[in-house]
Amino acid sequence: MIKFFLMVNKQGQTRLSRYYEHVEINKRTVLEAEVIKNCLSRSKDECSFVEYKDFKLVYRQYAALFIVVGIDQTENEMAVYELIHNFVEVLDKYFSRVVSETLNLLQNIFSLSKLGGSVISENKSKEKNI
């Protein structure tokens, strides 16, 4: 199950965050700061899966943006890795480049395509129509 989904820029500022389990606001900032620190400090040679507390982080870097997904132990890390890529491709097709101003719509896409922490529609054209 996906626990959370973060988009973070290189300076460490959260651009988008979506939690699928309840986490208090102040805990969220702490969590984000730690997670980001973990991922930013890794070099290119290291693998994209990190163990953090009791879940695993899968992260991927796209130019200046990091996408980090927290998953629990039962999830297939590589499938999630693909999911991130798929998601970015959708964004890419829909908006000419991934921009923060459209985050509102992003949230909508999120809620509709990743209901309850599971992926329901990886169909790209469908996602464009939402």
Partner 1 sequence: MPAPIRLRELIRTIRTARTQAEEREMIQKECAAIRSSFREEDNTYRCRNVAKLLYMHMLGYPAHFGQLECLKLIASQKFTDKRIGYLGAMLLLDERQDVHLLMTNCIKNDLNHSTQYVQGLALCTLGCMGSSEMCRDLAGEVEKLLKTSNSYLRKKAALCAVHVIRKVPELMEMFLPATKNLLNEKNHGVLHTSVVLLTEMCERSPDMLAHFRKLVPQLVRILKNLIMSGYSPEHDVSGISDPFLQVRILRLLRILGRNDDDSSEAMNDILAQVATNTETSKNVGNAILYETVLTIMDIKSESGLRVLAINILGRFLLNNDKNIRYVALTSLLKTVQTDHNAVQRHRSTIVDCLKDLDVSIKRRAMELSFALVNGNNVRGMMKELLYFLDSCEPEFKADCASGIFLAAEKYAPSKRWHIDTIMRVLTTAGSYVRDDAVPNLIQLITNSVEMHAYTVQRLYKAILGDYSQQPLVQVASWCIGEYGDLLVSGQCEEEEPIQVTEDEVLDILESVLISNMSASVTRGYALTAIMKLSTRFTCTVNRIKKVVSIYGSSIDVELQQRAVEYNALFKKYDHMRPALLERMPVMEKVTTNGPAEIVQTNGETETAVLETKPPPSGLQPANQANDLLDLLGGSDITPVIPTAPTSKPATAGGELLDLLGDLNLTGSPVSAPAPQIAQPPFLLDGLTTQPLFNDIAAGIPSITAYNKNGLKIDFTFERSNTNPSVTVITIQASNSTELEMTDFVFQAAVPKTFQLQLLSPSSSVIPAFNSGTITQVIKVLNPQKQQLRMRIKLTYNHKGSAMQDLAEVNNFPPQSWQ
> Which residues contribute to the site for partner 1 (CB under 8 A)?
14, 16-17, 20, 22, 25, 28-29, 32, 43, 45-51, 76-79, 81-83, 85-86, 100-101, 103-104, 107-108, 111-112, 115-116, 118-123, 125-126
Shortest distance, position 22 Cβ to partner 1, whole Å: 5
Q: Order of strands, edge to edge, in the sheet holding 65-71?
A: 14-19, 2-9, 65-71, 55-62, 49-52
Nearer to partner 1, 64 or 79 (CB): 79
In order of 36, 76, 90, 125, 126, the CA distances from 68 in angstroms are 8, 15, 17, 24, 24
Nearer to partner 1, 14 or 61 (CB): 14
Distance CA 51, CA 96 (A): 34
Shortest distance, position 46 Cβ to partner 1, whole Å: 4
Distance CA 17, CA 53 (A): 19
Distance CA 26, CA 78 (A): 31
Shortest distance, position 3 Cβ to partner 1, whole Å: 14
Nearer to partner 1, 34 or 118 (CB): 118
